């Protein structure tokens, strides 16, 4: 019963004083994280620094640009803040993966209900060739990377 | 607010997935989940693909197929490849490379359309086996109506994961081979890749876990490896799709809205005859061999052709199958024609077989008629027989005279026959056939000769 109550209330932000991680947040002191839970640890080293290689990897994956040391520091603080989750004993509690978990996906019938809006859709793009969209050359264009030929997913 | 967040799934996709899972002997998961697979490519506008990575709709099945071994490919062995899982996912758009202007063209028409991915375990050992297994899968999907499974049109897409290892050792590093749009190239690419990996390893090299593309013109696989290294798809649960829940006869809710409920047991009852059952039935129904049955199904349109001929001819199924497989199919293969392109129609073949059956012509004459029919000049079998005077001699007496003439004209051969030389009688029969212009039944000739020579 306690575990169930925990699950329901968890989405509430920790800095509201409920649950056990009180008075914690990016600005305030961070409560020490208890080791030994079985949840996966987020990548960090030593005093919570994220290695440069990992920053670059994240930038490529998410197409964000951390740009400055401050931005990376903010990321590290955010990770440390989230790490407080490990303070909770979640043994025997199934993870909440979706707020929709008690429902079933709605099945629609196999009827065409919309379409025939080719012109309207093609107008969304600056560059169109014979009803094809033309994307920017190269797969992903980042300022510090050389354009490369489009590549479908590697494993 | 709640309802608006929730995505929607096409019911037909779910039914197709369940039926495919059942046909492949899978366990159907009554609850399956959706996930997001993130990567950037111009044909994926959302930047992620919805798939079922954690808990797919079906898992742990198997696909059985037959392999023909031996020199004459007459020994049939049954093999099985395990199905790891079947998952529902979204298709991406289609990209075309315009090499002329060095640009990529994107067609988003199929983006978001439902796909079924069937994941096989690494139980296949070579290109040929893979092609046979995929062919069987193709026929199953076509029988179910799940897909027309035409590889050339991208209705069935196959990626091959290939690795090599010494017997007894664990599986080696695998490469993924893409861009395979026919069964023939599938087999070729796999065999090439197996050999490439073996050669590489024997030369002390290593195999990289990479994606390779099959180059048709060169007949080899080419690395597509991105310098970025391994992709990180950052799988996460799809927030907009609740779990997919399926029911069976026991779990069906009483007040169920039939539109919202997919009943596994009901779908199982609706499964059509699958290729393996069809092949069995043909063997029983027509008294043909399993190999014949296999070929009838394997060649597109051949079964329909065969059944049309059967319907229109008096000849026995055994004779029909012989002509369809050994003559018609042979001619088609020689000229690389599909059954639908055959210049000889089922009706024409049926007429020919009737003439043969009624002993109006000999089988060698029939072959000649077929050759003529193949030219596709619109003549019927009967017309050709008349034109080329191929009718069997109906005049018994005339035939007896020809036999006598052969006996009289070849005393040495007659001597050999009387000396029990087994080949001699055939020589004599051959002589009579020549003089009769192949218009006599060899069995009858033999009978007459043997009587005359008091054998």
B416 compared with B135, residue with greater pLDDT: B135
pLDDT at A109 exceeding the cut of 60? yes
As a whole number, the mean pLDDT across chain A is: 69
Q: Name the residue among A109, A129, A155 with its Cβ closest to that of B231.
A: A155
Which pLDDT belongs to residue A101? 84
List, as one string, the DSSP characters of B323-356. IIIIIIHHHHHHTT--GGG-SS-HHHHHHHHHHH
Residue to substitute from B42, B51, B239, interface A, most A β-carbons within 10 A = B42
Give me the mean pLDDT over the B391-408 stretch. 86
Q: Mutation test of the interface with chain B: which of A61, A64, A107, A126, choosing the one with the most B Cβ atoms within 10 A? A: A107
B140-154, B227-241, B417-431, range with greatest mean pLDDT: B140-154
Check residue B5 and give its pLDDT: 57
Residue B70's pLDDT band (boundaries 50, 70, 90)? confident
Name the minimum distance, in Å, from the CA of B239 to any CA of chain A.
Answer: 6
Helix or strand (DSSP H, E) at B243: none
Tell me the mean pLDDT in the region B87-98.
Answer: 92
Average pLDDT over chain B, rounded to whole? 91
Q: What's the Cα-to-Cα distance from A31 to each of A10, A36, A78, B202, B265, rounded to whole Å?
A: 17, 16, 13, 56, 54
DSSP B108-171: -TTTT-EEEEEEE-S---SHHHHHHHHHHHHHHHHHHTS----TTTTSS-EEEEE----TTSPP
% pLDDT > 90, chain B: 66
- In angstroms, what separates the C-alpha of A110 from chain B's closest C-alpha? 6
- Which residues in A lie closer than 8 A to residue B241 (C-beta atoms)? 100, 105
Measured between CA atoms, the residue of chain B closest to residue A127 is B105
Q: Which residues of B touch A140 (CB under 8 A)?
A: 40
pLDDT band at A19 (very low <50, low <70, confident <90, very high): very low
pLDDT over 70 (residue B82): yes
Chain position carrying tokens 């693909």: B49
pLDDT of residue B197: 97
Least confident window among B65-74, B132-141, B442-451:
B65-74
Nearest CA in chain B to A100: B242
CA distances from B278 to A72, B75, B169, B181, B322 (A): 64, 20, 39, 27, 19
| Banded pLDDT at B228 (limits 50, 70, 90) | low
Q: What is the mean pLDDT of residues A44-63?
A: 77
B230: nearest CB among A108, A140, A154: A154
Q: What is the mean pLDDT of residues B243-255?
A: 92
How large is the average pLDDT for residues A119-126?
89
Judging contacts by C-beta atoms under 8 Å, the chain A residues touching residue B237 are: 97-98
Rg (CA), chain A: 23
Please give, rounded to a whole number of angstroms, the shortest distance from the CA of B13 to a CA of chain A.
8
Chain B positions in Cβ-Cβ contact with residue A135 (cut-off 8 Å):
42, 104, 106
Would you state the pLDDT for residue A151?
Answer: 40
Structure tokens at B357: 């059956």
Confidence band for A80, pLDDT divided at 50, 70 and 90: very high
- In DSSP terms, which residues pair with B356 in a beta bridge? none
Q: How far is CA B238 from CA A102, A155, B51, B54, in A?
A: 14, 21, 9, 11
| pLDDT value, residue B436 | 84
Number of Cβ within 10 Å of residue B213's Cβ equals: 17
CA–CA distance from A80 to each of A39, A77, B265 (Å)? Answer: 15, 5, 50
Least confident of B44-48, B75-79, B331-335: B75-79
Measure CB to CB from residue A106 to each of B8, B40, B41 and give the nearest one: B8
* Mean pLDDT value of segment B206-235: 84
* Mean pLDDT in residue range A123-145: 74
**Is the Cβ–Cβ distance between B355 and B382 less than 8 Å?**
yes
* More confident site: B395 or B358: B358
Q: How confident is the model at residue A63 (pLDDT cuts 50, 70, 90)?
A: confident
DSSP code at position B217 = T
pLDDT of residue B168: 94
A65 touches chain B (CB under 8 A): no
Residues B215-220 have a mean pLDDT of 90
The answer to whether the CB atoms of A105 and B242 lie below 8 A apart is yes
Rounded to an integer, the average pLDDT of B362-366 is 85
Phi first, then psi: what are they for B273, rounded to 5°?
-65, 125
* A134 interfacial to chain B (CB closer than 8 Å): yes
Contact B103 A99 (CB under 8 A): no
**pLDDT band at residue B371 using 50, 70 and 90 as cut-offs:** very high
CB within 8 Å of B129: residues ≥ 6 apart: B65, B67, B79
Neighboring chain A residues of B40 at a CB cutoff of 8 Å? 63, 139-140
- Look-up of token digits 């050709």: B384
Are A135 and B104 in contact (CB < 8 Å)? Answer: yes
Contact residues, chain A, for B176 at CB < 8 Å: 155
Q: Give the Cα separation of B156 and B182 in Å (integer).
A: 9
Whether residue A108 lies within 8 A of chain B, CB to CB, comes out as: yes
Indicate whether this model's pTM tops 0.80: no
Q: What angle do CA B331, B332, B336 make, to 5 degrees?
A: 120
In what helix (H) or strand (E) does residue B361 lie, and over which residues does it extend?
Answer: none
Please determine, for residue A137, whether its predicted confidence score (pLDDT) is greater than 80: no
The half-sphere exposure of A67 on its side-chain side, counting CA atoms within 13 A, is 6
Between CA B82 and CA B108 the distance in angstroms is 34
Burial (Cβ within 10 Å: 0-12, 13-18, ≥19) of residue B254? exposed
The answer to whether residue A4 scores a pLDDT higher than 70 is no
Probe site for chain A from B15, B104, B213, B223 (most A CB atoms < 10 A): B104
pLDDT at position B360 is: 86
Would you state the pLDDT for residue A47? Answer: 56
The residue written with tokens 């039944």 in the block is B441
pLDDT at A2: 37
The answer to whether B105 contacts A150, with C-beta atoms less than 8 Å apart, is: no
Predicted pLDDT at B226: 62
* Residue B98 confidence (pLDDT): 80
Least confident of B37-51, B59-73, B193-207: B59-73
Residue contact A151–B230, C-beta within 8 A: no
Q: Provide the 8-state DSSP code for B193.
A: H
d(CA B28, CA B12): 16
pLDDT tens digits for B10-29? 999 999 999 999 999 999 99
- CA-atom Rg of chain B in angstroms: 30
Higher pLDDT residue, B202 or A95? B202
Distance CA B18, CA B29 (A): 9
Q: How many contacts, defined by CB atoms under 8 Å, are there between A and B?
A: 125
Instruction: Residue B104: count other Cβ atoms within 10 Å of its Cβ.
Output: 22
At residue B87, the pLDDT reads 98
Element (H, E) at B319: helix B317-322
DSSP secondary structure string for all residues of B393-435: P--HHHHHHHHHHHHHH-HHHHHHHHTT-TTHHHHHHHHHHHH
- Specify the range with the lowest mean pLDDT, choosing from A43-52, B85-94, B140-149: A43-52
pLDDT for position B227: 54
Q: How many helices (H) and strands (E) does chain A have?
A: 4, 3
HSE-up of residue B219 (Cα within 13 Å, Cβ side): 5
Confidence band (pLDDT; 50, 70, 90) for B221?
A: very high
């Amino acid at each position: 019963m306690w575990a169930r109550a925990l699950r329901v209330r968890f989405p509430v932000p920790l800095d509201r004083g409920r649950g056990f991680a009180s008075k914690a947040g990016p600005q305030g002191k961070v409560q020490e994280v208890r080791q030994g839970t079985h949840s996966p640890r987020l990548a960090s080293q030593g005093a919570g620094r994220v290695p440069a290689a990992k920053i670059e990897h994240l930038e490529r994956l998410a197409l964000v640009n951390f740009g400055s040391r401050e931005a990376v520091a903010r990321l590290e603080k955010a990770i440390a803040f989230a790490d407080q989750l490990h303070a909770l004993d979640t043994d025997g509690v199934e993870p909440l993966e979706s707020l929709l978990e008690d429902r079933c996906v709605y099945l629609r019938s196999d009827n065409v209900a919309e379409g025939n809006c080719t012109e309207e859709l093609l107008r969304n793009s600056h560059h169109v060739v014979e009803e094809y969209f033309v994307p920017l050359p190269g797969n992903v264009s980042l300022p510090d990377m050389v354009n490369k030929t489009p590549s479908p997913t590697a494993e | 607010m709640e309802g608006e967040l929730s995505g929607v799934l096409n019911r037909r996709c779910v039914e197709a997935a369940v039926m495919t899972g059942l046909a492949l002997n899978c366990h159907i998961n009554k609850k399956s989940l959706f996930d997001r697979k993130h990567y950037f490519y111009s044909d994926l506008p959302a930047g992620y693909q919805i798939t079922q990575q954690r808990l797919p709709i079906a898992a742990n099945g198997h696909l059985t197929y037959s392999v023909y071994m031996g020199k004459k490919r007459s020994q049939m062995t049954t093999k099985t490849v395990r199905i790891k899982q079947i998952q529902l996912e979204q298709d991406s758009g289609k990209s075309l490379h315009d090499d002329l202007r060095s640009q990529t063209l994107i067609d988003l028409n199929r983006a978001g359309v439902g796909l079924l991915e069937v994941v096989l375990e690494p139980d296949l050992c070579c290109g040929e086996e893979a092609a046979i297994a995929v062919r069987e899968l193709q026929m199953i999907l076509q029988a179910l109506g799940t897909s027309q499974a035409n590889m050339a049109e991208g209705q069935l897409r196959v990626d091959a994961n290939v690795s090599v290892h010494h017997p007894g050792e664990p599986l080696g590093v695998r490469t993924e081979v893409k861009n395979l749009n026919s069964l023939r190239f599938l087999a070729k690419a796999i065999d090439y890749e197996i050999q490439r990996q073996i050669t590489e390893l024997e030369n002390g090299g290593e195999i990289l876990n990479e994606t390779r593309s099959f180059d048709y013109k060169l007949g080899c696989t080419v690395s597509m490896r991105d310098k970025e290294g391994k992709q990180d798809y950052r799988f996460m649960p799809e927030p907009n799709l609740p779990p997919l829940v399926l029911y069976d006869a026991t779990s069906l809710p009483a007040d169920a809205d039939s539109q919202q409920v997919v009943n596994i047991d009901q779908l199982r009852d609706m499964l059509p005859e699958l290729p393996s059952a069809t092949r069995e039935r043909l063997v029983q129904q027509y008294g043909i061999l399993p190999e014949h049955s296999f070929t009838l199904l394997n060649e597109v349109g051949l079964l329909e052709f065969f059944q049309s001929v059967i319907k229109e001819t008096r000849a026995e199924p055994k004779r029909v199958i012989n002509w369809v497989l050994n003559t018609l199919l042979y001619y088609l293969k020689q000229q690389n024609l599909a059954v639908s392109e055959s210049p000889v129609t089922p009706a024409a073949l049926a007429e020919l077989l009737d003439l043969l059956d009624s002993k109006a012509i000999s089988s060698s004459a029939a072959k000649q008629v077929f050759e003529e029919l193949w030219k596709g000049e619109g003549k019927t079998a009967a017309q050709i027989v008349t034109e080329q005077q191929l009718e069997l001699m109906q005049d018994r007496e005339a035939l007896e005279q020809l036999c006598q003439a052969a006996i009289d004209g070849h005393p040495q051969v007659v001597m050999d026959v009387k000396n029990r030389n087994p080949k001699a009688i055939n020589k004599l029969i051959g002589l009579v056939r020549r003089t009769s212009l192949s218009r006599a039944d060899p069995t009858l000739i033999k009978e007459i000769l043997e009587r005359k020579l008091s054998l």
